[in-house]
Each structure stands twice: as structure tokens, then as C-alpha cells.
Structure 1
């Protein structure tokens, strides 16, 4: 598997990330097998959040119970978790107290003494950047979190945090797939007669901004569409035909080609796999090695329903 740099964190990591949001009802054996197959495929980056699994910290706890990382194994992987969503509202909370409390609980649940990266999960309209900065400073000084980032944040929201936060924000995790790709397609449609004439705040320059500021983009739900997974989905016959043809050409599966479409982007996007199937991780890993041509990349974009001027 290809290894990429996370330049703002001065880290190297696998381009694929194992997302562990769906393991709450899996057995220890199933979780360990998923982890082992991902590691064998070259994945060394694990993604958690405090809310995954229903009750707070459930998936973090289940992972630790099932995998039982040794000290040596812990040093071989990067563990990322997220904070900021309160599920019994729901509402968002970027207060100092909430961030610090939830990180402490994540560390206990994961049975580790540090997170490699902590992300602010969804933007909090009531955010006070100075409170976030205070929490980040304290957690970093104590060695409990090494690096920080965000998820689902716009350019303006990141810039607001940067007025107080002194650490580099090293990651922005965004929803992105072949079918859901506004952060990539809206720029291509700019200045188009008959177009919408608008660019959503989430899409406005976020890819270019992250590239300029050495913020690594991570794609969550990389195979999702409004009607579910687009692979083998009758709502997307043209796309699946192109995926199948390119899969045969490159000797991988359609899942691999859908992954290759994301990893082809020069931003070095990390792909967060939410699957609990080891075989799907292996298919994605094989696809991440494929270098699509420019023609193939655009053919997939159009087949997914995106209009190009």
C-alpha cells in the first residue's frame, strides 16, 4: 500500500484508514480479524470517535477489548479519535470542559496513554476559539494528544479556530465519494452559463485551502450515494459499467477502482473505510495501488453524474 506524508504533523501513514464506527456488535474474533487483515494489507491508521457505537466510547472500548494492542503494536499504528458531538441532543460542544473530559474517556476506553490525532467532529456554531486552544494546549502539554485537526469544517471555520489555536490543524475529514464530490466538482463548474451560479460554503475552495496549508484531507463514506452504496446499485448503471470495465483493465475490483479515483487526486487524500469486512479492505488496498489516467478519472466523474462544461 502507498504511504503518504501528513506534512503538518510530520508523519507518514497508509493512504487507507480503517474506520471503526461499526464494530459495536461484532465479536472479539471478528474485530481482531478485521484489524489483522487491515494491517496485513498495509493499513496503519485507525479512526475512532467518542460517539461511535451508540453509548459513548462503545467502539473505542470494544476495539481495545478485542485487539489488546501490545506496546510494540501500539507504536506501529496511528490512532485518531474525534470529539464534539453530543448525541442526547443532538448538539455540538467545543467547550474546554467537554473536549478534555471526552479525551480522557477515549484514552481510558482505548487503553492507551495518547491519541496521535484528535479531530473536532462537526462544527460548533457556539465555538469559542480560545476555549478550544486552552484544551488543545493542555492535552498536548500532558502528552495525551500529539496532533489536532477537524472534520466537516469549512475554510472560514478553520480560519476562525486558527485565530487562537497555535498547533497546526493537520487533518480535515470530509464526506467524499465518486457520487458525492462537490468539494471537487464545484470549482470545475465555476463560471458556467446555465449552472447554478453558486458554490456552497463547504465546497468553496476547501480542497485548495487544505493543499495550501498542508492539511491532509480524509474522505469518509467513500462509496456512498443518496440511495446507499453506489457499487452494484441499480440507480447508477453507467457508473457501475465504467467501474467494471476499468476494474477488468487494471486487475482489481470495482471497489478498488472507486478507491483509486480518490487516491489519484494530487491532494493525497486518505480514504476512510467504514467496512467491517476484511475482504473489502483488501480490495480497497489493491485499488489504492492503481494509478488512473487523467482520461479514466474524468470518465468516472462524468459517469457518476457530474456535469462538466
Structure 2
């Protein structure tokens, strides 16, 4: 597994992380196999959020790590908070209380990373700064970041917080390429030229923020998986040809397309199938050529200017 040296920190994270949103309904035995397979394949970074499974995902994960006798220093745990029932809440009180509950469910003393989960338009950045300072001083959180935030929202936070914002978690896949499209269609009067996110990809690269790509196999917003989907015959034909060339599965090709980008994007896979974890981990073993990357991009329905 290739390692990403996260800028402005001593963190060294694997290119592929395991997303834990769907583990809440797994049996203890099945989750044991999933975590063991992940670790065996160099995936020791685990992404959580307090809303995943209503907190059950964190709880069962904590039990699994204890049962497997995994040393805490051998893994990295990230969690997120800020989404509540029908609204967002970045108040100091909610952030601190959320982290305390997260740590209790995970049965750990600290989080390696804590992210603000989606933007809160009612955010008071000074409150966030106070919360971050308190969490850092207490040793409950080592590093901080955000999710689904645009450059100006991050700039607003950076004016107040004392910590570097190391991560921005954003949706990216072969069929969800908005952060790439506008940069390729500069000075064009086409739909793909519309800038929806403030050139967040370039901004993160310029500001040493590591992007974490979530839902790497989805098209649209949780509309479904594009792999083996009859709606996308050209894309799957190219994926399957490249999978045969590199002797990997189609899911590994989809992940490798993200990893090929020079932004050094960390990809979060959300499978609960140990075999698929093993298959996807092979995406780090090869590098798509420039021609192959663009062929995949075009086959997904994108037109180059």
C-alpha cells in the first residue's frame, strides 16, 4: 500500500482508507474478518461519523479493535460530527459533546482526525476555534479537517482556528467529476465549464489540504453504482479492458483512476466485503497511463474541449 505524507503534519496515511458507514449491521465475526483483511492489505485508516448507524458503527468498531487486540498506535481513526436531525450544528458545545460520545463509543482516548461534517451556515468560527483548541489541548483530537466545504468556507475557518485543516472530504468518482470538469473547460460556454465549488481541487492542492474521495463507485448523489451498470456500457467496457490488462477487478480500476491524480487523493472505500477490500487494495499496485486516465474520463460521458 502506497503512503501519502499529509502536508503540515507528521501523518502518513494509506492511499486507501476503509469507510465504516455500513458496518453497523454486521455480525462481530464478519466485522472481525473485514478489519483483519483491511489491516493485512495495508489499510489502517478508518473513517467514521457519529451519524453512521446512529452511532452503532463506532460502537461495534470499538469492540472489534479490542477483540482483535489491535494496538491503538497501529491504526488511525477519523470521525466526523455536525449533522443533526434536520439541521447542522457547529456550536462549541455540540462539537465537544459529540467528540466525547464518539470516543466513548469507539473505546479510545483520542481521534487521529476529526472533521466537521458538511458546512453549517450558522457557524460561528470563533466557537469552532474554541472547540478545536479545547480538543487539542485535552489530547482528544490530534488533527482536524472538514468535509464538503468550498475554498471560501475553509478560508473563513482558517482565519480563526489555530490548527491546520489537513483534510477536505469530497465526493469524487468516474461518474462524479465536478471538481475536475470546470478546470478542463476554462473559457468554454458549456455546462461542464460551470464552477460549482470554487475550484476546490486546485485550492486544496495550493493549500496542502489532502482530499479524501468518498463514494468512489457512485454516480450522482447516491443514485447507484456505475460498475456493471447497463446504463454505462462504454465506461464499463473500457474499465473491463483495463482490468484485464492489469489483472485486477473493475473496482480496482475505478479506484486507480482517482489515485492517478497528482493531488494525491486518499480514496475511502465503503465496502463490507473482505474480498472486495483485497481486490480494491490492488489499485495501489499499478499506475494508469495518462492516455488511460483520459480514456476513462471520456468514456464516462465527458467531452474534452
TM surpasses 0.5? yes
Aligned residue for 1:207?
201
Q: What is the rounded CA distance, in whole Å, between the counterparts of 1:241 and 1:130 in structure 2?
A: 51
Pairing of 1:99-138 with structure 2 (within 5 A): 99-138=95-134
Q: CA RMSD in A?
A: 1.3
- Looking at structure 1, the residues matched to 150 and 102 of structure 2 have their Cα atoms a distance apart, in angstroms, of 26
Provide the residue aligned with 2:18 in structure 1.
Answer: 18
User: Is 1:52 matched up with 2:47?
Assistant: no
> How far has the Cα of 1:58 moved from its partner?
1.4
In structure 1, C-alpha distance between the alignment counterparts of 2:173 and 2:70, rounded to whole Å: 34
- Contact 1:253 1:287 (C-alpha < 8 Å) held by counterparts: no
Give the superposition deviation at 1:197.
Answer: 5.1
Give the drift of 1:166. 1.0
CA separation of 1:169/1:69 partners in 2, compared to 1, >3 Å: closer, same or farther?
Answer: farther
Indicate the SS of the match to 1:17. Answer: strand
**2:34 aligned residue:** 34
Q: Write the distance in 1 (CA, Å) between the matches of 2:95 and 2:191.
A: 42
Residues 248-263 of structure 1: matches in 2 within 5 Å?
248-263=244-259
Q: Give the aligned partner of residue 285 of structure 2.
A: 289
**TM-score between both structures, scaled by the size of structure 1:** 0.95
Helix, strand or coil for the counterpart of 1:9? coil
Aligned residue pair count:
303
Structure 1 stretches of 5 or more lacking a match? Answer: none
2 CA distance for matches of 1:216 and 1:194?
29
- Asked if 2 retains the 8 angstrom alpha-carbon contact of 1:94 and 1:132, the reply is yes
Superposed, which structure 2 residues align to 1:61-80 within 5 Å? 61-68=59-66, 73-80=71-78
| 1:167 counterpart = 2:158 | no
Structure 2 partner of 1:267: 263
**Residue 39 of structure 1, CA deviation:** 0.6
Deviation at 1:297, TM superposition (A): 0.1
Native 8 Å contact 2:183 2:193 kept in 1: no
Q: Distance in 2 between matches of 1:289 and 1:96?
A: 42
Question: What TM-score, normalized by structure 2, do the two folds share?
Answer: 0.97
Distance 1:143 1:224, change over 3 A: same
Asked whether the 8 Å contact 2:32–2:68 carries over to 1, the reply is no
Shift in Å, 1:307: 1.8
Aligned mate of 2:300, from 291, 299, 304: 304
Find the residue that maps to 1:75 and give its secondary structure. helix
Q: Once the two structures are superposed, what CA deviation does each residue of 1:73-104 show, in whole Å capped at 9, x if it has no partner? A: 21011100001000x2x110000000000000
Please state whether the residue corresponding to 1:209 is helix, strand or coil: helix
Structure 1: distance between partners of 2:167 and 2:159: 17
Matched residue SS, 1:146:
strand
The offset of 1:70, in angstroms, is 7.0
1:30-70, Cα deviation, whole Å (9 max, x unpaired): 111100001111101000000000x2x21100111233167
